[in-house]
A and B are shown apart, each in its own frame.
Chain A
Amino acid sequence: MKRLMAMLLALTLSAGMFGCADVQNGDNPQESESSQVALDTSTSWDVVRPDNLPADYPNTEIRFIYPFNSSGSTTVIYFRLLAEKIKQMEGWKYSVVLNQREGAGGDIGWTAAAEAEADGYTITFTPTSMLIKAIGESRPYTGDAFEYICNLTSSPGVIAVAANSPYETLEDLLQAAQASPGVVSIGVTSSTGGEGLAVMQLEKASGTDLNMVPFNSGTEIIAAVSGGHCDALCLNVGDIITPVEDGSLKVLAVGSEERSAEFPDAPTYQECGYDVVQVNSRAIAAPAGTDPAIVQYLSDCFKAAANSPDVQQQIADIPLELDFMSHEEVQALFMDSYEEYLTLWNTSPWM
């Protein structure tokens, strides 16, 4: 009996430790071993290690700080697949581990990442909405706090209503808002993030007053709109592909500068006559000051992985809005966006 108890105790304790370690890491030795079944023999892998890259890089695990709950995020799934591929092809001894630091709308994770040592072993998830938050709440994770490695996905904003809604165009919706100010409701996930900002800009451009209602998650908004409890929604295109396919929502307009591939029939906000652009680009970045050789090397690795046929096959059916940009491109994009938001903040603060 004593032996049984000792075993039970050991088992339970180790299960607990295992549980915690993995909530943080999410990566498993078994996983990497068994996923090597499909060794990529194609020749598309052409990463060259820069000359001034530390010879032993990476000589330990690379920590990927994700500042939200990662469940359900397709971009994180994509990131994992890419990181796994890179480890396999580059023959790294160490993995990229997911370090989930959720809380305060991303604040906790981003602050930790911005203040982390710039040694090339900490990277984080940086969507453009982070910049909006940083400016609005004067937080340390500003545009120049990071070196942007690459962009993974970009989602144009979208405004949609229930399939049986009387509104057929963005104009209809905004006219209704003009007729009865503050009554037409529009669901957003955060009134101070990218969506809230877009709605406010639209209100300003059209001189109307919508009733902006924050929800906890995109799925909650979709349920409320398709059930007729909320008049419209402002989310990202990627959030609503399935409900539109299933016929519970219809798209009024998209926030990109050009029409989106997913909804080619929907006009852009600009085509509707409002000079508003809403695109959330999801990039990964290292703290400012990280060795440029490392940033360039990682960017090349992710580019090669994104182009690998294996990964492309794995993600064929996942609703992702792929928009790969390598280091130079994404760096320029984020610095430009940051300048733009700053100008906007100085002329008309949104909080």
Chain B
Amino acid sequence: MELLSYFTQLLDPQTMMWIFIGAVVGVILGALPGMSATTGITIFLPLTFSLPPVTGLATLAAIYVTGSYGGNITAVLINTPGTSDSLFMVLDGYPMTLKGEGLKAIGVTTLTAFVGGVIGTVALLMIAPQLARIAVIFGPFELFLTVMMGIIIIIGIVKEEVMKGLMSAVLGFLCSMVGLDGLTGKSRFSFGISAIHDELPMVPLVLGLFACAQVFMLVAENKESIVIGKDTLKGSAWLSLKEMKDLAFETVRSSVIGTVVGIIPAAGTTIAAGLSYNLAKRADPDPSSFGKGNPKGLATVSAANNAVVGGSMVPLLTLGIPGNGTSALFLSGLFIHGLAPGNKLFTDNAAYAYGLLFAFLLANVFILIFGMFGAKAFVYVTKMPSSVLIPIIAALCVLGAYSYRCLPSDMVIVLITGVVGYYMMRTRFPIAPFVLAFVLGKSAEIYLRRAVMLMNGKVSSVVLQPLPLVLIAIDIIMLVAPFWKDIVKAVKKR
């Protein structure tokens, strides 16, 4: 079996050591607020110069996979998502922690991330060339309609505070317009301030609104530790067979969604997680339990997040089109080792291509090992005295913000948005809609404007196609579904 020989080349001790190092670095950087797999790959990219191609690429793969998982840990345990990718993670993860179920939350997020990662990678392994077409059938108009799905999800997460949620989202849209106009390259709404000439930077903004605000919140609450009075370290991270059965369907469905969305260029983790979360919530017999610490909510998000990793590699390896910023770094990794993406990669250089894919699988196994055996150590953080925890998070916030672009002004931004986030938390303005609108508003605007430019003189041949029509239908259904019962009621009354 050729495939087997592609796998066994990874079992060489030096390669295994590098994958292990990559996995450790990935988890640590992923867990630190503001750092991510992208940071890790940037650091390690020059290092892989001197490694054999398979070892080098496998190391980067390990960082990518575990880095995307590492963010789960801190999001779940201390409510500090570092990027918009783990935005949905806090919705059910942190309430679980507050209930004293931190250990179980880590178990859920680890197991489902493993399943999601494996499904995404297997899809990549089996049907990459066939799937690659998905990447190009999405033009700017189709991408706009996909991003709209993400925007519509905002309705699903505003919960009781509808007015406040929508106000928060509108504010997010406004902020997304600050900076360079994606089409003309001119700076707008930046008021001549050089720190926001390009954009309101995403990482410092998310860090401020969540992590930094959480620091202020912990100070104001004056609690001894995040969780008090409950023995959070009792029990085990492993789930019972029944618990696993309960989560199985949601996990698999979210993994498939994550894989497919990952393939669509530029759609990314946020939309994948949002779509799966929304679907799970709507399909659940008790939707109101979501957002209050329902393990299913956490499971869908972690599975989708990690499945995106595999999906995003499909168009990259087969067409050279990166699905997101992190996978774009892989392009450099391939080029450094003299490998060009494309069909040739899977024929002439099959040993490297499949070696890389198997490394993704191995990295997922490392997630399982770290997550399940490290759970107790992670959860200890919820028992850590606030006097120790608060300065650590505060320092990491500032550091993370700075490391994003290495601009000192970003450290000011994190503090300002931290104050804003704190008052939003105190006045029960939901923050998630703001961030979602901020992240997606940007892409929605540019895709729509580009689509309109491309429609010049041929609207019908762009809009009246099967895929756009299906996407429009999905958008409308998603928009109407939450109010369907009310509409039916109103009609019956008449």
A binds B: yes
Knowing A31-B49, A246-B342, the reply to whether A223 touches B321 (Cβ < 8 A) is: yes
Chain B residues whose CB sits within 8 angstroms of the CB of A72 once the complex forms? 322, 328-329, 331-332, 335
Chain A residues whose CB sits within 8 angstroms of the CB of B39 once the complex forms? 19, 23
Cβ-defined contact, B140 with A243, below 8 A? no
Question: Is B50 an interface residue, CB under 8 A from the partner?
Answer: yes
Cβ-defined contact, B185 with A74, below 8 A? no
CB-defined interface of B19-59 with A at 8 Å, one 1/0 digit per residue? 00000010011001001000110110111011000000000
Number of residue pairs spanning A and B whose beta carbons lie under 8 angstroms apart = 182
* A131 smallest CB distance to B (angstroms): 17
Cβ-defined contact, A12 with B45, below 8 A? no
- Name the CB-closest residue of B to A162: B136
Give the distance in Å from the alpha carbon of A243 to the alpha carbon of B185 in the complex: 27
Chain A residues whose CB sits within 8 angstroms of the CB of B456 once the complex forms? 182-183, 185, 211
Cβ-defined contact, B141 with A229, below 8 A? yes
Cβ-defined contact, B338 with A183, below 8 A? no
Cβ-defined contact, A104 with B50, below 8 A? no
Question: Is B400 an interface residue, CB under 8 A from the partner?
Answer: yes
Knowing A13-B395, A22-B43, A220-B265, the reply to whether A180 touches B457 (Cβ < 8 A) is: yes
Cβ-defined contact, B335 with A77, below 8 A? yes
Cβ-defined contact, A9 with B392, below 8 A? yes
* A65 smallest CB distance to B (angstroms): 13
Give the distance in Å from the alpha carbon of A222 to the alpha carbon of B182 in the complex: 18
Question: Is A34 an interface residue, CB under 8 A from the partner?
Answer: yes
Knowing A13-B399, A80-B46, A223-B265, the reply to whether A213 touches B453 (Cβ < 8 A) is: yes
CB-defined interface of B429-472 with A at 8 Å, one 1/0 digit per residue? 00000000000000000100010011011100010000000000
Question: Is B396 an interface residue, CB under 8 A from the partner?
Answer: yes
Chain B residues whose CB sits within 8 angstroms of the CB of A50 once the complex forms? none
User: Which residue of the partner chain, among A31, A214, A315, contacts B46 with CB atoms under 8 Å?
Assistant: A31
CB-defined interface of B369-380 with A at 8 Å, one 1/0 digit per residue? 000000000000
Cβ-defined contact, A104 with B180, below 8 A? yes
Question: Is A59 an interface residue, CB under 8 A from the partner?
Answer: no
Chain A residues whose CB sits within 8 angstroms of the CB of B315 once the complex forms? 223
Of residues 138 to 177 in B, which have CB atoms within 8 Å of A's CB atoms?
138-141
Question: Is B183 an interface residue, CB under 8 A from the partner?
Answer: yes
Cβ-defined contact, B338 with A26, below 8 A? no
- Name the CB-closest residue of B to A319: B340
Cβ-defined contact, A71 with B180, below 8 A? no
* A45 smallest CB distance to B (angstroms): 20
Q: Which residues of B contact A (CB under 8 A)?
A: 25, 28-29, 32, 35, 39-40, 42-43, 45-47, 49-50, 135-141, 180, 182-185, 187, 197-198, 265-266, 315, 319-322, 325, 328-329, 331-332, 335-336, 338-344, 384, 388, 392, 395-396, 399-400, 402-403, 405-406, 446, 450, 453-454, 456-458, 462
Q: Would you list the 9 A-B pairs with minimal beta carbon distance, nearest first?
A: A229-B139, A227-B136, A317-B338, A183-B457, A20-B403, A34-B50, A16-B399, A72-B331, A35-B50
Apart from A20-B399, A26-B42, A319-B335, what are 20 other A-B pairs with CB-CB below 8 Å? A12-B392, A13-B395, A15-B32, A16-B32, A19-B35, A19-B40, A19-B403, A72-B331, A73-B332, A103-B197, A105-B180, A223-B321, A228-B139, A229-B140, A241-B340, A242-B340, A243-B319, A243-B342, A245-B344, A318-B340
Return 12 A-B CB contacts under 8 Å, by A number. Answer: A15-B29, A19-B43, A20-B399, A22-B46, A31-B47, A35-B50, A103-B405, A211-B456, A224-B139, A228-B139, A230-B139, A246-B319
